[in-house]
Structure 1
Amino acid sequence: MKNYLVYQAYGSIDILHECIYSVLSFYKYNSDSDTHIIIYTDSRPYLQSYLGQAISYQDIEQSQIDFWKGEIDFIHRVKIKILQDFISRYEGNLLYTDTDTIFRSDISNIYKNIADDKLYMHQNEGRIGHEDNTMMRKVNRFFKSNVITERIDISPAAITNLSMYNAGVLGFHTDQKHILSKSLIFTDEIYPMFPRHIVEQLAFSLYMQTSGPLHEAREQIFHYWNFKEFRIILKDFFEKYNNMPIESLIERIENINPQRLIKPKLAYEQTRGMQRIYQKIIKGKWQMPAYEL
């Protein structure tokens, strides 16, 4: 049974750099893997200049991206449509990751579990009904106070008792394509009523949990969705090492590992009240750690 790793990388050069770095991190820990990597992109030549020909590139144009946004014009709907397109072409164990991810270890066990009908998302962010943050509270109260169309086969009461997962990683066998069709219906129905960026994430969270054993991938994959400051470092890195063989690039990626560089930012964001005010005045918000390209 074949293993696949899928990305969507189009538009901004920052997204392309994230994708390249993520693939390099995959190779670092999975050098003996027979995983087939597929990137949906509008920038094949640029990606190939760093990653070479071993990867499959599925060319997409802006017109296709706009079509996949649908009538609701929702950018995160594109992820669902890309995965539906993938399943129409391939069969096997599918692992999708956002570009702003890095691999921390070998993931062969993830693929073995997917072959056994286990499911993966990146991280459990808490039960919706617990309203642990502002967005979770808005989601919970929306479903408590609105009548949901019959096309959505999960009740508001059930949604309250389920958890929100980070959708930066999605893992499932292509036989479970119903996850995508149900997530698409949910997104198309809910987004016009509740136009928030997390609707696609919520859809995957709900239908993955109700489709089989759902596991976290955070031990094997780090998702730095809250570290846009890393993009300038990636830009400098790839400008410096343009035309360098991929083996040499892999040797250097640890120098700028975002899991290390993000620590001061996370520490600052965990401070509260007067402690944060003091740090902001005396030291500034936070400082990027020293690194060498």
Structure 2
Amino acid sequence: MQLLYLVFGNNIQNHFQANFSILSFLRQGNRLLTGITVVTDAPDFYRHLAGAVTVHTIDAGTLEEWQGEFRFFWRAKIKALEFVARQQPEVPLLYLDTDTFLHGSLEKISQELAAGVAFMHEAEAPLSTLTSKTERRMWQQINGRAFGGITMHEQHQMWNAGVVAIPAGRNLEAIALALRICDDLSAQQVTPRLIEQFALSVALSETYPMQEARPYIGHYWSTKEEWNASIGAFLLESHLKQRSVAAELEALGSFDYQTLPVKKITRNTQHRLTKLVSKLLPPREVEFITPQVKK
């Protein structure tokens, strides 16, 4: 099994999330992983893991090419899957968002992939039943129409794409189908925010039986603030103690994954009230250092 991460920009939180995720897989993966590929424009953040990962540095031109004719940024996720699958078409491929970690059995995932089962993080619901403004608009735009040669119907599920695991058999076929669906959705000006997610959902479900990765892999997309604080503390301690990767893996054995929520949905009203309170009650006595004037 080949792991794949796609990380852009200089936001250090994204990179320490990826480092932590990689460590969580290395604890189980020595005999199950053929390799770990990090596609990034910031390779310096992965020097510490140089013995465990292969960094593919991507430049702005390649990233623009991967975004395609319609400049849809997250099309690059599907192109990264294609890039790695072409290098090792005989190996199952497991893509992970940075805000993920392994808490279940990697061996079980490996066995299911070998049996021809694909994974995405979780099945959210058929797109036709989802209730957000974006999802309702998408369904109105695609209902009964063909994209990538697939006619969209009421049972096509929206899956969360924080995890995408593709068996070796028919992998390039499935990825090519996802690209065609994504490009057709873009060409027809379908609301773009969830296009790559839905394209992968449909392409994989049309090609393989599907399972949720949620029992094995945590995805804390809605609770990043809490997880970033704990992960940052763990990695800072590693830095201060100059831990080797082996020592980090040993220390990770004591990390309690169950104390932090992996999902927490708050109402938009709460966000609006929080912003309003912050505006009405700003902090007092804010003070900065004043530079001395040189004489």
Provide the residue aligned with 2:112 in structure 1. 113
1:191 aligns to what?
A: 186
Equivalent residue for 1:176, pick from 156, 161, 171 = 171
**Superposition pairs for residues 1-293 of structure 1, below 5 Å?**
3-11=1-9, 12-30=11-29, 32-49=31-48, 51-91=49-89, 92-144=91-143, 148=145, 152-156=148-152, 158=153, 160-174=154-168, 175-192=170-187, 193-229=189-225, 230-242=227-239, 243-253=242-252, 260-262=259-261, 266=264, 269=266
Bigger mean CA offset, 192-201 vs 213-222: 192-201
Deviations 1:89-128 (A, max 9, x none): 1121111111110101221121222122211111000112
TM superposition shift of 1:186 = 1.5
Deviation of the 1:257 alpha carbon: 5.5
> What is the TM-score when the length of structure 2 is the normalising length?
0.79
| Cα RMSD after superposing both structures | 2.9
How many residues align structurally?
267
Distance in 2 separating the partners of 1:138 and 1:87: 33
Gaps of 5+ in 1: 282-293
Task: Deviation per CA, 1:46-93: give whole Å up to 9, x if none.
Answer: 2122x2313222221222212211222222111111111112211211
Q: Would you identify which runs of 4 or more consecutive aligned residues in structure 1 move more than 6 Å?
A: none
Cα distance in 2 for residues equivalent to 1:224 and 1:198: 18
SS of the equivalent of 1:95 reads strand
Structure 2: stretches of 5+ with no match in the other structure: 278-295
SS in structure 1 at match of 2:202 = helix
Q: Quick one: distance in 2 between partners of 1:257 and 1:14? A: 20
Which segment drifts farther, 120-129 or 53-62? 53-62
TM-score (norm 1): 0.80
Cα deviation, 1:180-226, whole Å, max 9, x if unaligned, reads: 11111221221351232210000011111111211111000011112
Q: Which amino acid aligns with 2:93?
A: L
Instruction: Read off the aligned partner of 2:137 and give its amino acid letter.
Output: K
Give the counterpart letter for 2:201 in structure 1.
S
